Chains A and B, each alone.
Chain A
Amino acid sequence: MLVIRRKEGQAIRIGDSIVVEVLESTPNRVKLGVSAPPEVRVVRAEVLLAEAGNREAAAAPSADVLARWAQRLGRESV
């Protein structure tokens, strides 16, 4: 992984068309500004995790598997 130190107001450029600027930095978080062409999808990494997780989870298992895990988890209603 490439590691680059930047301060508020400084930026990095990725390729010819993507710029990531440090807008604000606090001890707990960094606020970034991303300039990219519309065809480049820019999302927080957690969105990709949620998408991948949903795609994998989208076919709920068979009734047998559900019943088996329901027993294991204990019977409590929502």
Chain B
Amino acid sequence: MATEPNNAAGAAGGIRSSDYTFPAGIPAFEKHTRFRLLENPLYAPIVVLESELDPAVRFACVPVALLAPDYKLELGEEDCELLGCDASQPGLVVLAILTFRHGSPPTANLLAPVVLNPAQGLGVQSIQWNAQYSHVHPVREERPCL
């Protein structure tokens, strides 16, 4: 995996680009096995996962912990194999894919988070079979504490 500024725009705007291989693709996009994780400070905490095969396939994501601080990720044997690690591996990045619909707030897919292993440059979309997480979890804006 390489983590470096993403071309001239990245150097100027501070966009970080990291490459990840998704050995199994992701559901409905199984042929898309290579993604770039684009971190633009202007959009933080939102990051974009962009397919190398077709850059029009782009997923806006946020850290799951931001939406569900008590989220419990369960990684099955197959997911661990695809990630090249075990379930207790430190440093895994867990992201929820956001869906934006016209005229309503976005929703987040907590049922099937994207899990990244930066150490190996591997990723998987891990369906949480045994949990009751929603695939359309409402995203609400942060409100300052008064």
- Where the two chains meet, the residues of A that have a C-beta atom closer than 8 Å to any C-beta of B are 44, 46-47, 49-61, 63, 65-67, 69-70, 72-78
Contacts and interface: CB of A to CB of B under 8 A. Distances in A.
Given A60-B60, A63-B42, A73-B45, 14 more contacts: A46-B127, A47-B127, A49-B135, A50-B26, A52-B28, A54-B29, A58-B57, A60-B58, A69-B100, A72-B141, A73-B142, A77-B45, A78-B45, A78-B93
4 shortest A-B CB distances, which residue pairs?
A72-B141, A51-B28, A60-B58, A50-B27
Contacts of B135: 46, 49-50, 53
Nearest to A43: B27
A55 B28 contact: yes
A50 B42 contact: no
Interface residues of B, number: 41
Nearest to A58: B57
State the majority secondary structure of interface residues on A.
Answer: helix
Interface of B: 26-29, 39, 41-48, 50, 56-60, 62-63, 66, 93, 95, 97-101, 106, 109, 111-112, 125, 127, 129, 135-136, 139, 141-142
Contact of A58 (B42, B59, B63, B136): B59
